[in-house]
Amino acid sequence: MRERNKGAKVGIVAVCGGAAVLGTAGYGVWELTSGGPGPKAAVSSPRTVVAEAPAAGQAAAGAQAFLEAWAKGDLVKAGALTDDPTAATTALTAFRDNVKPSAVSLTASGPAAASPSASPSPSASASTAPPPPGLVPLTFKAVLEFAESGTPWRYDGAIGVVKMSDGKPAVHWTPSVIHPRLGPGTSLAVKPVSSPPASVVDRNGKSLAAFPSLTPLLDRLKANAPSSPENAGTGVVLTADSGKTAADPLFTITAPKPQGPLKLTLDAALQQAAEAAVQEQSKGGTRAASLVAVEPSTGGVLAVANAPAAGQNRAFLGATAPGSTLKVVTAAALLEAGVTPSTPVPCPSSTTVTGLPLHNDFPDARPGNTFADDFTQSCNTAFIDKSTEVLKPDTLPTLAKDVFGLGLNWKTGVTSFDAVIPTPGNAASAAPQYIGQGAVQANPLAMASVAATVQNGTFKQPILVPGMQQVQAKRQLSGEVLNTLRSLMNQTTRTGTGAAVPGIPQDAGSKTGTTEIADGKPTNSWFTAYRGNLAVAAEVEGGGHGGQAAGPAVVKLLKIGNQ
Q: What's the CATH number where 389 sits?
A: 3.40.710.10
Same domain, 68 and 135: yes
* Average pLDDT of every residue of the chain: 88
Report the DSSP beta bridge partners of residue 192.
Answer: 234
Q: Other CB atoms closer than 10 Å to residue 260's CB: what's the count?
A: 10
Is 337 contained in some domain?
yes
Closest CA to 324 of 68, 494, 550, 562: 550
What confidence category does residue 34 fall into, taking pLDDT thresholds of 50, 70 and 90? very low
Map residue 185 onto helix, strand or coil: coil
Q: How far apart are CA 460 and CA 473, in angstroms?
A: 8
> Is residue 527 included in any domain, yes or no?
yes
pLDDT of residue 13: 32
Amino acid at 516: E
Q: Is the pLDDT of residue 180 over 60?
A: yes
31 assigned to some structural domain? no
Look up the domain containing 85 and give its range. 51-184
pLDDT for the residue numbered 106:
97
- Region 213-224 average pLDDT: 89
Torsion of CA 19, 23, 29, 31, to 10 degrees: 70
368 vs 563, residue with greater confidence? 368
- Asked, for residue 29, whether it belongs to a domain, the answer is no
pLDDT at 44: 57
By DSSP bridging, strand 41-48 and strand 26-33 are: antiparallel
pLDDT at 563: 57
Query: What is the rounded average pLDDT of the residues 99-111?
Result: 93
Residue 17 lies in a domain: no
Average pLDDT of 227-241? 88
Burial tier of 74 (Cβ tally within 10 Å: 0-12, 13-18, 19+) = middle
Q: How many CB atoms lie within 10 A of CB 505?
A: 14
Q: Are residues 151 and 248 located together in one domain of the fold?
A: no
pLDDT tens per residue across span 384-441: 999 999 999 999 999 999 999 999 999 999 999 999 999 999 999 999 999 999 999 9
Separation of alpha carbons 411 and 402, rounded Å: 17
485: nearest Cα among 324, 380, 331, 369: 331
Identify the pLDDT of residue 231.
83
Q: Is residue 27 domain-resident?
A: no
Query: Where is the domain boundary, 143, 163, 184?
Result: 184
HSE toward the beta carbon, residue 253, CA cutoff 13 A: 20
pLDDT above 50 for 498: yes
State the Cα–Cα distance between residues 12 and 60, nearest whole angstrom.
11
Q: Is residue 1 pLDDT above 80, yes or no?
A: no
- What's the CA gap between 216 and 240, in Å, rounded? 23
For every residue of 481-496, DSSP letters joined together read: HHHHHHHHHHHHHHHS
Does 280 share its domain with 325?
A: yes
pLDDT of residue 484: 98
Query: Residue 220's pLDDT band (boundaries 50, 70, 90)?
Result: confident
Higher pLDDT, 516 or 309: 309
- pLDDT category at 29 given cuts 50, 70, 90 is very low
Helix, strand or coil, per DSSP, at residue 233: strand
Using 50, 70 and 90 to split pLDDT, how confident is the model at 251?
very high
**Is the pLDDT at 472 greater than 60, yes or no?**
yes
Contact present, 554 and 538 (Cβ < 8 Å): yes
| Residue 119, burial from CB neighbour count under 10 angstroms (0-12, 13-18, 19+) | middle
125: confidence class by pLDDT, cuts 50, 70, 90: very low
Stronger pLDDT, 113 or 334, i.e. the higher one: 334
Question: What pLDDT, in 10s, does the model give residues 275-309?
Answer: 999 999 999 888 999 999 999 999 999 999 999 99
* Percentage of the chain exceeding pLDDT 90: 75
**Is the model's pLDDT at 116 over the cut of 80?**
no
Q: In this predicted model, what pLDDT tens digit does every residue of 350-362 receive, in sequence order?
A: 999 877 788 888 8
Same domain, 502 and 419: yes
Q: Are residues 241 and 387 in the same domain?
A: no
Contact 539, 556 (CB under 8 A): no
321 and 245 assigned to the same domain: no
Q: How confident is the model at residue 260 (pLDDT cuts 50, 70, 90)?
A: confident
Mean pLDDT of 29-56: 63
Query: For residue 355, is it left (φ>0), alpha (ψ between -120 and 50) or beta?
Result: left
Q: Is residue 3 part of a domain?
A: no
Residues 6+ apart with CB under 8 A from 195: 227, 233, 255, 256, 257, 258, 259
Instruction: Assess whether pLDDT exceeds 60 at residue 35.
Output: no
CA-based max dimension of the chain: 104
**Which residue among 157, 184, 211 closes a domain?**
184
Specify the CATH number for the domain of residue 78.
3.10.450.50
Does 554 have pLDDT greater than 70?
yes
Residue 518 lies in a domain: yes
Q: d(Cα 278, Cα 87) in Å, to the nearest integer? A: 54
Q: Is the pLDDT of residue 24 over 50?
A: no
- Quick check: 265 pLDDT over 60? yes
**What mean pLDDT is predicted for residues 196-207?**
93
Same domain for 410 and 316, yes or no, is: yes
Angle (deg, nearest 10), helices 268-281 and 550-560? 160
How far apart, in whole angstroms, are the C-alpha atoms of residue 280 and residue 540? 11
Same domain, 379 and 419: yes
Please give the Cα distance from 21 to 323 (Å, whole number).
55
Same-domain status, 150 and 218: no
**Element at 103 (helix H, strand E):** strand 103-111
Residues 222 and 180 in one domain: no
Q: Please answer whether residues 139 and 157 qualify as being in contact, where contact means their C-beta atoms are separated by less than 8 angstroms.
A: yes
Local confidence band at 2 (pLDDT 50, 70, 90 cut-offs): very low
Q: Give the least confident one: 2-16, 272-286, 503-517.
A: 2-16
pLDDT value of position 279 = 96
Among the residue ranges 17-31, 72-86, 520-534, the one predicted with the least confidence is 17-31
Residue ending a domain, choose from 165, 184, 203: 184
Taking residues 156-163, report their average pLDDT.
96
What was the pLDDT predicted at 31? 33
Indicate the pTM of the whole model: 0.72
Do residues 60 and 79 both lie within one domain? yes
Kindly state the helix (H) or strand (E) to which residue 304 belongs, with its residue range.
strand 301-307
pLDDT of residue 164: 96
Residue 303: φ, ψ to 5° = -160, 150
Looking at residues 7-11, what average pLDDT do you find? 31
64-78, 182-196, 386-400, 531-545: least confident range: 182-196
Rounded CA separation 153/142 (Å)? 8
Res 229: pLDDT:
79
How many structural domains is the chain composed of?
3
Same domain, 109 and 162: yes
Per the DSSP assignment, residues forming a β-bridge with 307 are 289
Report pLDDT for 113: 62
Cα(302)–Cα(298) distance, rounded to whole angstroms?
A: 10
- Residue 301 region by backbone torsions, left for phi larger than 0, else alpha for psi between -120 and 50, else beta: beta
What CA–CA distance (Å, rounded) separates 289 from 278? 6
State how far the Cα of 100 lies from the Cα of 2, in Å rounded to an integer. Answer: 6
Identify the residue with better confidence: 420 or 39: 420
